[in-house]
Amino acid sequence: MGNGVIITNDLELHQRIMKLNYLKEEQELVIKRNVREVVYSMHPSVMFKNIVNKFSEDKESTDDLKSIGLNLGKDFLISKLFGKGGSLKGFISSLLIRKATDYVLKNHSDLIVSGIQKVEGFLKEKIINKENAAETAD
């Protein structure tokens, strides 16, 4: 044998098999947990958050990243909701919406970021609860 264990009778064989099965189950659980962690770390939102954390070590760059993200989101929503301003009515509507969102973002961006973080925390909690329920079911 590879471990230098000498089995001399049937009882020792069964004990060794039980120990090896227990060891196998423990290793499978560790592998499952590691695979889940790898899959979680490969999720786009986690990867994006890690990248943002690396680039946002100081307060100024954090604020810049937040404002860039909020502006991109605002522009995306405006273009989806009101089109590219193909008519005069669409142009005026998008202009008014853009001015209103600029005002809200300028004066209340901290509340928006706080709300987004609360939603993110709620969703993470749901995912963790689901994973724990699946793990206990296994």
> Residue 65: which residues within 8 A CB-CB, separation 6 or more?
52, 55, 56
On whether the CB atoms of residues 83 and 90 are closer than 8 A, the answer is yes
Contacts of 105 (CB under 8 A, 6+ apart): 67, 70, 71, 74, 112
8 A C-beta contact, residue 74 and residue 105: yes
> Dihedral (C-alpha) 105, 68, 56, 129: value to the nearest 10 degrees?
70
- List the chain domain ranges: 7-42, 58-137
- pLDDT tens figures, 6-26: 889 999 999 999 999 999 999
Percent of residues, the chain, with pLDDT higher than 70: 75
Which residues lie below 8 Å from residue 67, measured CB to CB, with a gap of 6+?
105, 109
List, for residues 99-111, the tens digit of each pLDDT value.
777 777 778 777 8
